[in-house]
Amino acid sequence: MRGFFCKNGLFSVEDGAKNPVGHAAVSLRGHDSGKIYFVVGVRKNDDGSEQVLLADGGSRRIDSPKSKKRKHVIVLKAADEGIRKALSNGDRVDDSVIVHALKQLKKELGGQVDPPADIK
């Protein structure tokens, strides 16, 4: 099992989440490396690879989520059941709900999550 380090120690991840929608995810690549998002959708490419649609409620709103290759993010076990159920049912999720859920998650984790060098 791969892990994630934060100020509170090792935070386990869910590597093979079949449906990551509603789970928190951390970017491993790009200028946003280390940033926490919520997975709001999954898209399959023609070549069979997956892209996850990520939103943080601020710079990446639910109406224009960031698209990132699945291998460039790590999906955490942490999930918001309200967001997860709403997205599964096709209901609209307000950006303020995502912002609030991310604040709660960061508070629990002790702030910004830093991916260890061996995962990058």
Residue 16 scores a pLDDT above 50: no
Does the pTM exceed 0.85? no
How is residue 15 annotated by DSSP?
Answer: T
Domains and CATH numbers, the chain: 3-109 (2.30.30.30)
Q: How far is CA 25 from CA 46, 62, 105, in A?
A: 23, 15, 11
pLDDT at site 52: 94
**Which amino acid is it at 52?**
V
**47/29 Cα distance (integer angstroms):** 21
